[in-house]
A and B are shown apart, each in its own frame.
Chain A
Amino acid sequence: MNSIFSEPFFTVLFGGTLTASTPIILAAIGEDFVESGGILNLGLEGMMLLGAFTAFIAALITENVYIGLLSGMAAGVVLGLLFGYLVIYLKINQIVAGLGIGLFAIGITSLLFRILFGAEFPVIPDITDKTAIPLLSKIPYASSIFNQHLITYISWILLPIAWWVLYKTSFGLNVRAVGENPAAADVHGVNVYRTRYLTLLFEGVLAGLGGAFLSICDLSFFVFHMTQGRGFIAIAVVMLAKWNPAGIFYGAFLFGICHSLTYGLQILGLDVPREFILMLPYVAVIALLCILARNTRFPAAFCNPYERE
C-alpha cells in the first residue's frame, strides 16, 4: 500500500481533479447564462455528449485536437439552437424539450458509434498536448497542477470573464433582465428572443467544448453515454453557485476531487469496492445541494416561455 503522502497519489489527485472539473466548469458557465436568462436547459447533458462524440470522430479522422474541439463546439451549437427553437419559438415545455434532446443525443451517438465501429472502441493516437507552465510544473507533489491541457487554463480564465460579462456589461444586464422580467425588458427595447438565443448559442459552444475535452483531451476514446450525468452535475453546480459564475469553481472543483479520488484511492490500494468510490461525485452533489441550495431564489421568469403581447 502506498503512503497517503506519496508523490504519485498527489500527482493523480491534483492533476485529476483539475482535469475532471474542466468540462463541468465549461458547461456550467454556459448553463449559468442560459438560466440567468430564464431558461432551464436539461439537454445540457446531450449537448456535452454530442460534443464529445463529434469531437472524437473529427479528431480520429484528422488526428488534430483543435479540429476535434471545434467540431465538438459546432455540435453543441447545433443542439443549443435546436433547443432554442423548441422552447423560445415553439414555446414547448422546457423540461420536455430538454429531456427529449438529452435522450436523442444518447440514442444518436450510440447508434452512430455502433454503426461506424461495431463492437470496437478505437483510441485516438496521442494528440493531446499538455501545456506545462515553466518552473511551476517542476514543483514536487504539485507538478500536475501546472501541467494541464490548454483548455483547462482557458476554463479558469473564463470564470472571471463570465462573471464580468454577466454582472458588469450591458449584455449581462440584458440577460438577467430577460430572466427576471422579460416583458419589462422588452418594453425597454431588449430583444428577449435574441438574448435568449445568444445565451443558448454561447452554452452550445461551451458545453460542446466541455464534451470534446472529455473525449479527446482527458481521454482519447468514446464510450456510450460517456458524460455519465456531467450535464446534470453542471446544472447542480450552477444552482450551488446561485447563478454567480464566480461560485462555479467550487462546485466543479469538488466534483473533480471526488472523481479523481476514484483513481487516487486505487493508487493507495485501499480495499474499498470500486462502486462506492464511483458513487462519490453523485453523493457529494446531493449533499452539497442539501447544505447550500435550500430555498434558492430562482430567476423570476425561470422556465416560463415569453409571449410577446
Chain B
Amino acid sequence: MNLIRIGSKQAAGVVIGPVFAILAALVAGGIILLIIGFNPLKTYYELFSLGAGTYLGITESLKRMAPLLIMSAGLIIVFKAGVWNIGGNGQFLIGAVLAAGIAPLIMDKLPIFFYFVVLGLLGFIGGASWVCIPAILKAKYEINEIIVTMMMDFIAVNFTSYLVRYPLNAQPGLFPQTAVLPIEKRLPNISLTEVHIGLIVGLVMVVLVHYFIKRTALGYEFRFAGENKKAAIYAGINIKKVIVLAMLLSGGFAGLAGANDVLGIKGSFQAEWNPQYAFSAIPLVFLARFNGFAVIPLAYFFSFLSIGGEFMSRAANVPVFFVQVAEALMLIFFGVSEYLKKRSKLF
C-alpha cells in the first residue's frame, strides 16, 4: 500500500512538474502575445492545429523529432554526469558538414546500408571532435566547459561557412552549398509513411542511452559523478574519464543529429544553415528530468510546436521566434517548478 502510494506519487511528480512548466510558459507566452497585439487563443489554436492537426504537420513534426531525440540522448549523458555541453549547435553543424562533404564521394562506392552507417559514424566523429578541446581543458585544467563549448559553437559556424563557401562548394557562383544528394541516396522512409528512418534511430538512441545510464556500470559512474563529485572521487571513480567520455558522447550525438538532417531532410549543407536544435533540446531534457522515456513525448511536443511555428509564420504573421521564446520560458518555469516542488512537497 505504502509502496503503491510512493510509486504513484513519484509518477505524479514526474508528470506534474513538466506540465506545470509548459502551461505556465504558455500562459506567460500568451500574455506576451496579447501585449504585442495578437489573440493568444487564436494563435495557440493555429499553432497546435497546424503542427499536430494536419497530415503534413504530423509528418513534419515526426521528422523534426529525429534530431531532437538524438541530441537529447547526448545531453542526458552529459547532464547526468554533471558536465555542461551547451555548444550542441556547433557540434551539429560539424557533423552535418562532414556527412554532407563525404557523402557524394562514397555514395557510389559503398552498399547503401554501409554508406549510411559510415556517414552516421562520420557525423558522430565530427561532433565528438568538436568537444575534444573543451573536454580535455575541463578534465585536465578545470577550465569552464560552458564557456569553451560556447566559443567552439561560434568557431563552428564560421568554419562550416568557410567549408561550404570554398572547398565543398558544389556550385561556385551560385548560392553556396555542398553537392545535393539524389533522393535514392537519402534516408528511406518508414514503410507506409513519409517519415524517414531517422526517427527510429532517434527513438533507439534515447532508449539505449536511458538504459546505459540506468543499468550499466559506466552509466552508474556517470550518475555518481554527476550527483556527488567529491564522493565519486573518494569512491575511486576516474572523474576525468567520466568528463571526457560524457562530453565526447554528447558531442557525437549532436554530430549524428547533423548527419541525420543532411541525409534525411536537406540532402546537402547550405550556407547560413543553422537550425539551433540545441536551444530546444536543452529545455527539453530538463523538462524530461534526464529521463529517456519522458524525452520522447516531450520531443514530439517540441517538434509540433516548432513545426506549427514555422507553418504559422507563413500563414499568420506570428514569427517563428515566438516558439523560441516559449521554449526559453519553459526552461525558466521548469526551474520554478523545482522550487515549488521543494517548497510545497505537493508533487
Taking beta carbons and an 8 Å cutoff, which residues of A are in contact with B? 42, 86, 90-93, 95-97, 99-104, 106-108, 110-112, 114-115, 228-229, 232-233, 235-236, 239, 273, 275-276, 278-279, 282-283, 285-286, 289-290, 293-296
Residue of B nearest to A278 (CB): B158
Q: Which of A273, A275, A276, A289 contacts B137 (CB 8 A)?
A: A289
Contact between chains at B324 and A90 (CB < 8 Å): no
Of A99, A111, A229, A283, the residue contacting B331 (CB under 8 A) is A99
Main secondary structure, interface of A, reads: helix
Q: List 13 A-B residue pairs with CB atoms under 8 Å apart, sorted by A's residue number.
A: A86-B336, A91-B339, A92-B335, A103-B283, A108-B321, A111-B325, A233-B151, A236-B147, A239-B147, A273-B165, A275-B158, A282-B152, A283-B155
Q: Are A90 and B144 in contact (CB under 8 A)?
A: no
Query: Distance (Å) between the CB of B197 and the closest chain A CB?
Result: 31
CB-based contact B147/A289 at 8 Å: yes
Q: Is A92 touching B319 in the complex (CB atoms < 8 A)? A: no
- Residues of A near B153 (CB, < 8 A) are 229
- Which of A92, A103, A232 contacts B279 (CB under 8 A)? A103
What's the Cα separation between A112 and B37 when bound, in Å?
11
CB <8 Å contact, A110 and B319: yes
Given the known inter-chain contacts A92-B336, A235-B147, A275-B162, please indicate yes or no for A107 contacting B133, CB distance below 8 A.
no
A283 to B144, CA, bound (A): 15
Alpha-carbon gap, A290 to B338, bound state (A): 35
Q: Which residues of B contact A290 (CB under 8 A)?
A: 137, 141, 143
Contacts of B317 in A (CB 8 A): 115
Contact of B170 with A by CB under 8 A: no
Q: Which residues of A contact B152 (CB under 8 A)?
A: 282, 286
Name B's A-contacting residues (CB within 8 A).
Answer: 32, 36, 84, 86, 133, 137, 140-144, 146-148, 150-155, 158-159, 161-162, 165-166, 279, 282-283, 286, 317, 319, 321-322, 324-325, 327-329, 331-332, 334-336, 338-339
- Chain B positions within 8 Å of A282 at CB level: 151-152, 154-155
Are the CB atoms of A104 and B146 closer together than 8 Å? no
Residues of chain A within 8 A of B282, CB atoms compared? 99, 103
CB distance from B315 to the nearest CB of A (A): 15
**A229: which B residues are within 8 A, CB to CB?**
150-151, 153-154
A232: contacting residue among B133, B137, B151, B334, CB under 8 A: B151
Q: Are A95 and B84 in contact (CB under 8 A)?
A: yes
Which of A99, A114, A236 has the largest number of chain B CB atoms within 10 A? A99
What separation, in Å, do the CA atoms of A99 and B329 have in the docked complex? 11
Q: State which of A101, A275, A294 has its C-beta within 8 Å of the C-beta of B143.
A: A294
Q: Give 7 closest A-B pairs by Cβ, nearest first.
A: A92-B335, A107-B324, A103-B328, A275-B162, A107-B325, A104-B328, A294-B141
Separation in Å of the B64 CB from the closest CB of chain A?
18
Distance (Å) between the CB of A249 and the closest chain B CB?
Answer: 19
Looking at the assembled complex, report how far the CB atom of A38 sits from the nearest CB atom of chain B, in whole angstroms.
15
CB distance from A159 to the nearest CB of B (A): 21
Q: Write out the residue numbers on chain A whose beta carbons fall within 8 Å of the beta carbon of B329.
A: 100, 104
Contact present for B331 and A103 (CB under 8 Å): yes
A285 touches B336 (CB 8 A): no
Docked CA distance A93–B338 (Å): 9
B36: A residues at CB distance < 8 A: 111-112, 115
Q: Which residues of chain A are within 8 angstroms of B146 by Cβ–Cβ distance?
A: 42, 95, 232
Across the interface, do A104 and B143 meet the contact criterion of CB distance under 8 Å?
no
Contacts of A235 in B (CB 8 A): 144, 147
Residues of the B chain whose Cβ atoms lie less than 8 Å from the Cβ of A91: 339
Quick check: A86 and B144 within 8 Å, CB to CB? no
Q: Is the CB of A286 within 8 A of B325?
A: no
Q: How near does chain B come to A171, taking the closest CB pair, in angstroms? A: 27
Q: Are B328 and A100 in contact (CB under 8 A)?
A: yes
Which residues of the partner chain A approach B154 to less than 8 Å between Cβ atoms? 228-229, 279, 282
On chain B, the residues within 8 Å of A295 by CB distance are 141-142
